[in-house]
Amino acid sequence: MSEHKRLHPISAVASFVKQLKELIIPFVLIFVLNNNGEKSGFWDYIPILSIVAVLVFVLVAGIVKWLRFTYRLEDRELRIEYGLFVKKKRYIPFDRIQSLNFSEGILHRPFGLVKVKVETAGSSNPRESEAELTAIVKEEALELEKIIYSEKKGREIPETETQDTAEKGKILFNMSPKDIWVLATTSGGIGVILSGVFVFFSQFNELIPYEAVYEEVAVFIKSGIFIVSILSFVLLIVAWLLSIAWTFIIYGEFKVKIVDENIVITRGLLEKKQVTVPLNRVQGIRVVENPIRQLLGYCTVQIENAGGSVLDKESTTIKLFPLVKKKRIADLLDGIFHDYRIVSDFKRLPKRSLKRYVFRRTIWILIPGTIVTILYFPLGALSFLSVIPLSVLGYYQYRAGGWKVDGTQLSLQYRGFLKNTMYMKKNRIQSLDTKESWFQSRKNLGSLVTTVKSGGTGYSSAIHDLERDDIKTVASWFSYNQSI
């Protein structure tokens, strides 16, 4: 594979579509502003001609980029040459390549193509993947993966090992339609759908006759609040069903396998994605529970990955099990991470910490609540009712807090709105910080913050108002000299 290879011509189309998506809003604005009267001369057509000129330039630029983009394997390196006006070269040693992530979009599938993202250790630009082959034949992608794998392992791979990575290995976890249904109905997808609808219509302010619509709506409202309520309910149901459908599209055919010391995750109905995570790049395991899923006994299991790019959240914090029964976690993780232990007997926060948790949640409502009460007394006093849910949240945050040291593993449990349980190995913790404010010192309390590498930055877990002696115990466990 030492000869120069080009991407499939469809990559030029994909580049054009990507640029077009970014330009659609300004194009719509130009079109609307230029459509406010009759055109009497050449200059009136300048905005439309400008749009056409930009489209032509973007299309030609995409074709030139495709013509100038080549890749090859040579001297244990992936060598890429690219650039529109200035030709650039990038050489990526095989030893730095952590994984090749495949995805098949709507433009790829009809031609048997895949997009390949090259993830490396210590990327030169943490905000993006080290390299991306936007469209190559799937067989070539598998051959690329085979050669890189064999060079890193220092041996030839038999033909029996050259099949698609997604087809190798034993399935450790998959999501049934029931699981995806529960995932969709217990998520915030409806908010995403409604936001998308509002954003879409907000782009056409000049085209919608709001005054006429308002008059019609006013007449309609007068005809009956009941009918309006029914239509609003129907709109919410439709948005909810759309969010469920979208979840099925994203997480359909979700599978997790172990292949050659790598976690291989595949998912997607329209766009099939394959993410490969080397086991030695996993920095920690996090179990996340929202209140509804917690009541139903479900949770989400995520892994923090040392590779990936900052902008691509799916390559840093990866959903290993998007939805799973909590009682199954120990057995499932034991089939992947033999050295991690799922624990439940955490050491909890002292009772004197409860007041601090409740106070921290409710202090923010006291000043605005007082102002509202003075200005709009007596109804303004109802604003203090918000103290009740905030106090309840503070109580459950206090109840969730806990820690446990078990050999080389530190487990932390804490809650914002979501309950998090973080499992970390000592040699994966980047930093462990202890903090103690003046108010905490008076109560012999303190805070503990741990950070593991995740993407180009890190993921931090914090617990507040632990016993001072407990913090010393954890700090001593983490310290190399076993002393404070």
The string of pLDDT tens digits covering residues 57-85 is 888 888 888 888 999 888 888 889 888 78
Same domain, 293 and 269: yes
pTM score, whole prediction: 0.75
**For residue 281, what pLDDT band results from cuts at 50, 70 and 90?**
confident
pLDDT attached to residue 226: 60
Res. 404: pLDDT tops 80: yes
Burial of 150 (0-12, 13-18, 19+ CB in 10 A): middle
Q: Which residues pair with 74 in a beta bridge?
A: 77
Quick check: is 483 in a domain?
A: no
The percent helix, strand, coil of the chain (3-state, each to 5) is 45, 30, 25
**pLDDT higher than 60, residue 191:** no
The residue with greater pLDDT, 25 or 13, is 13
Which residue is listed with tokens 């790049």?
A: 281
> If you average pLDDT over every residue of the chain, what do you get?
81
Question: Which one of 216, 251, 286 terminates a domain?
Answer: 251
Domain that holds residue 300: 255-349+401-478
Judge if 42 and 141 occupy the same domain.
yes
pLDDT at 189: 55
Residue-wise DSSP of 59-114: HHHHHHHHHH-EEEEETTEEEEEE-SSS-EEEEEEGGGEEEEEEEE-TTTGGGTEE
> Which of 26-30, 55-59, 164-168, 334-338 bottoms out in mean pLDDT, i.e. has the lowest?
164-168
Whether residues 364 and 277 fall in one domain:
no
Residue 71 domain flag: yes
Please indicate, yes or no, whether residues 37 and 71 belong to a single structural domain of this protein: yes
Shared domain for 223 and 359, answered yes or no, is no
- Residues 330 and 448 reside in one and the same domain: yes
Using an 8 Å Cβ cutoff, are 366 and 425 in contact?
A: no
Do residue 133 and residue 266 come from a single domain?
no
Q: Is residue 469 part of a domain?
A: yes
The predicted structure's pLDDT at residue 470: 94
pLDDT of residue 203 exceeding 50, the answer is: no
- Same domain? For 47 and 133 the reply is yes
Q: In total, how many domains does the chain have?
A: 4
* Domain edge (last residue) among 135, 163, 191: 163
Domain boundary, last residue among 123, 140, 163? 163
Give the mean model confidence (pLDDT) for residues 180-200. Answer: 65
Name residue 249's amino acid. I
Residues 22, 128 within the same domain: yes
Residues 112 and 138: beta-carbon distance below 8 Å: yes
Residues 223 and 343 in one domain: no
Residue 168 resides in a domain: no
443 and 455 part of one domain: yes
Q: Quick check: is 393 in a domain?
A: yes
Residue 268 and residue 243 share a domain? no
Is there a contact between 124 and 332 (Cβ–Cβ < 8 Å)? no
Structure confidence at residue 474 (pLDDT): 94
